[in-house]
Amino acid sequence: MLDLPADYGPNSAQIRTALGRIRHDETVTGIYGFSGGGYNARVIWEQLSAAERARIRRIVVVGSPGIEGSQFAGHPDVLIKPDPPEGHMAGPKVLLESLGP
């Protein structure tokens, strides 16, 4: 998790930081994006090398309308969740609750 605003664009702090962590920490094996972070997850995926993509085991995007699994070409384990009835900000909590104990 990155405690950074999800400003969109290739020069956003969130995208630069995420790419740096993925490239320099081989224990990073997943990408999670909530709201604006979901749009950034797509940009991050597009900028990863084939070797970096191979290390990513799961991609999860919550509350990012228009983002689809097909935008993460070549990755079989993509979970896209829309906003729940409880509202946009409840998305992460509802996702966690849906996973069980």
Q: Is the pLDDT of residue 101 over 80?
A: no
Report pTM: 0.91
Q: Rounded mean pLDDT of 11-17?
A: 90
Q: Which residues of 29-59 are buried (b: 16+ CB within 10 A; e: fewer)?
A: eebbbbbbbbbbbbbbbeebeeebeeebeeb
**For residue 93, what pLDDT band results from cuts at 50, 70 and 90?**
very high
Write down the pLDDT at residue 42.
95
Average pLDDT, the chain: 92
Domain residue ranges in the chain? 13-98
